[in-house]
Structure 1
């Protein structure tokens, strides 16, 4: 059966390239999706490929060519340095691809993938910025609809571990929130400044970046992997309320703001009670499952990627600019960061 016939029949053969912790999760979810056949598991470590294939199905491969030939689409969860070569090889063979964030290990490689994907627009290129599929983010979008955001703070904190020590906290963690910044407030943004420090590893462990959104809020991003506890949150100040989303606890709260009348009585700007807070339930769902379902729907032509190659490139380019500002500041403490806008990308 040809790839076209399989897709027309709503059967999508998907392979997973790279089966570390994240890649194994991809294999698990794909093996459970209706209308999806887990066609192959590729890893340069043959024994690892065999172990994951034994658990979730698919044929194990340590040779890339037969792996690509077995699939109509692939999910790339390999180490970041391998993303570009895997993506380009898959595109050259007519496959649809989902590539985990960041899209590539360098802006130059990401530009190559964007350029190549533009040559064959019918091939899906989706970048796995998984927080787009977090139910708490979806609930926050709903509450921001029709409201003017004045300021926002996005925090992404983790305790120290030995993972991802070859990349800085900006490319490891903050890049999630760079993408959410564009998702929530639009892509007309300007990077104003950034600071960071190296506390435990050999790269930046703690970073803060500030953006201005044209016609929108000032946004502060804070990312750390040397925090006391894990936290993922978004706080947005609007004229009438503080809206706070907990991306780990899957909850959302809204604290109403009040004004004083001539008698000194506090009246809320929006609510039937005097100030106070409301808490809104957020449905439980696995973001990775939602992301992979979306990818399969894109392959079937039902949807378009929420984050395409250009969107992934934009997030990576901002991350690179933040890291560059931090490095220059730390090497020359008296030098301030330069503003960077979307026009630069």
Structure 2
């Protein structure tokens, strides 16, 4: 066992978790110790493919690792994070941080009190497109974001992936976190609507957010689309920036006297999830070696604020539906403070 590497494990090795496990093996400072899944056969299959160990229990894998990726359904984030944080483990938790605010707040509190790293899996912050806009935008007046995908495939004995929560917590929350990062202003007002189509909660949602600095963001999310779309348009005086997170392209339109100049920005591509995992390992190792908690790019506090806004949007959808006599179900996190 290499003491210069962080011993990592992955909890939940379904669609996304198996990629976490695979990519950890490519990180120089990480040593993948093993995986755990509630389905032992899934764990064994992934462990065999990656030449690692399939642990039989959460307790067993916890005793052998210093840090973990948690890639289980959102409704299970809290119980696993609570268990591992109390064992002094560093965590990368897939978004959302938890399925309600009380649980999210407790996760942040325990990590802070114990000097532990928690990184929340808002992977778009590591998308190479985001590298361009960081530090290069100012006085943003309006943002339009669209995130759409086909409905997730059926799974034997389980809900389709992500549908344990509504589309706001499943998909829109990516854009909410990005927009909070870009605008850097408090929210003044939220208007929202949404409907269920195929699942037991909202599958389509639209939100209009007005910030205290006057910026307005309009966001559409759908998991019942014919094709996948992940775009964002950012408007500021004399400039319009068009971002495509899926195709990793960025175009800037600028006013030049009486004409409009179009500039295609060269994007240096990289694997966003790989970069996210590498950053998590680096921060956790630094914390272990120095005793000083490193600063996460998407910390638990940031994940909590994104969830807080997402919860507000679900509340507004429920108000809208009640006002107009719409009986569609909307995912409503409990224990909100």
Contact 1:148 1:216 in 2 (8 A): no
Which residue does 1:234 correspond to in 2? 232
- Give the C-alpha shift of residue 115 in structure 1: 2.2
Q: Which 5+ residue runs of structure 2 have no aligned equivalent?
A: 154-159, 288-293, 327-335
State how far apart, in whole Å, the 2-side matches of 1:191 and 1:26 are: 37
Partner residue of 2:213 out of 212, 215, 236 = 215
Which residue does 2:74 correspond to in 1? 80
Confirm or deny that 1:40 pairs with 2:34. yes
Contact 2:203 2:223 in 1 (8 A): yes
Q: Secondary structure at the match of 1:37?
A: strand
Structure showing greater radius of gyration is 1
- Give the C-alpha shift of residue 83 in structure 1: 0.9
- Give the C-alpha shift of residue 142 in structure 1: 4.4
Which residue does 1:284 correspond to in 2? 269
Q: Deviations over 1:133-158 (max 9, x none)?
A: 001111122431xx311111111111
Q: Deviations over 1:18-73 (max 9, x none)?
A: 00010000001001111211012011111111111111233211311110001011
- Give the C-alpha shift of residue 189 in structure 1: 2.4
Q: Which 5+ residue runs of structure 1 have no aligned equivalent?
A: 259-266, 269-273, 336-343
Aligned residues: 315
> So what's the TM-score if we normalise by structure 1?
0.86
- Give the C-alpha shift of residue 167 in structure 1: 1.8
Higher relative CO (Cα under 8 Å, sequence separation at least 6) belongs to 2
State how far apart, in whole Å, the 1-side matches of 2:305 and 2:205 are: 19
State how far apart, in whole Å, the 1-side matches of 2:325 and 2:148 are: 28
Superposition misfits of 4+ residues, deviation over 3 angstroms = none
> So what's the TM-score if we normalise by structure 2?
0.88
Confirm or deny that 1:58 pairs with 2:59. no
Which residue does 1:254 correspond to in 2? 252
Q: Secondary structure at the match of 1:173?
A: helix
Which residue does 1:295 correspond to in 2? 280
What root-mean-square deviation, in Å, do the aligned CA atoms of Structure 1 and Structure 2 show? Answer: 2.0
Q: Deviations over 1:102-140 (max 9, x none)?
A: 1112222112212222221x2111111111100111112
